[in-house]
A = this chain, B = another copy of it.
Amino acid sequence: MRADAVRNRERILEAARVEVGLGGTECSLDNVAKRAGVGPGTLYRHFPTRDDLVGALLLGWADEVRTDTDATAGDTWDDVLEWLVRLADHSMLYRGLASTLAAAEADEASPLRTVHAVVLGAMSRLLDRAREAGVVTVPVDADEISRLVAGIAMSAEQANLAAAQVRSMLAIVLNGLTQARPNN
C-alpha cells in the first residue's frame, strides 16, 4: 500500500469515529470524507460500503466486549445481570449500532459478521458457565440472548430511556431465563 493511501485510510477512520460518534452509524459519508480531507471517491476505495467502514471502527469494540464477557464468572444472578447491563451499554456506543449488528445476523456476507461472531463466541461460553451455575435453566442459545439485548438497546435508543429502565428490562429477560416455565 502506498504511503499516502495508508495515511488517508487512517484519516478516514479517525474522521469516521468522530462523525459516527456524533450522528450514529447512519451519518453522512460525505461529511466523513470532508472531515478526513479526502474526496468521496477515496472513501469508497478504502471502504466500499458503509458496513465496511463501521466494521473497521468496531474491531476494538468487539475485543472489549469479548474480554469483558470472558472475565465475567456468570455464576450468580446479579453477576449475569451486570454483564447484561454492560453488554447493552456497549451496544449503545453509537446510535444505530444495535440495529446495524442485528441486521448483520441475517446477512451472511456482511463485513460485520466477524465482529458479531466474536461477541457471540464469548456469549456462548458465558452462557455455559451460567447454565452450570444454575442461573440459566431454560433452553436458549447465545443468538437468542443477543437478539433480546439488541432489541432492548434499540428500544432504549428510540425512546431515550434512562439506564435504570434498561436495567429493569434486562432483569425481566434474565428472570425469564432463570425460572422454569409453568405449565398452567
In whole Å, how far is A32's beta carbon from the nearest beta carbon of chain B? 21
Structural contact, B76 and A158, CB atoms closer than 8 A: no
**Overall SS of chain A's interface:** helix
Q: Is A87 an interface residue (CB 8 A)?
A: no
Q: Cβ of A174: which chain B residues have Cβ within 8 Å of it?
A: 176
Q: Cβ of A180: which chain B residues have Cβ within 8 Å of it?
A: 179
Please, which residue of chain B has its CB at the minimum distance from the CB of A154?
Answer: B154
Q: Which of A89-131 contact B (CB under 8 A)?
A: 99, 102-103, 105-106
Q: Is A147 an interface residue (CB 8 A)?
A: yes
Structural contact, B106 and A172, CB atoms closer than 8 A: no
Q: Which of A71-96 contact B (CB under 8 A)?
A: 76-77
CA distance A158 to B100 in the complex (A): 8
Q: Cβ of A169: which chain B residues have Cβ within 8 Å of it?
A: 144, 147-148, 151
Binds B, one of A14-22, A50-58, A60-68, A160-168: A160-168
Structural contact, B172 and A177, CB atoms closer than 8 A: yes
Structural contact, B175 and A181, CB atoms closer than 8 A: yes
Q: Is A140 an interface residue (CB 8 A)?
A: yes
CA distance A103 to B154 in the complex (A): 10
Structural contact, A159 and B102, CB atoms closer than 8 A: yes
Structural contact, A179 and B179, CB atoms closer than 8 A: yes
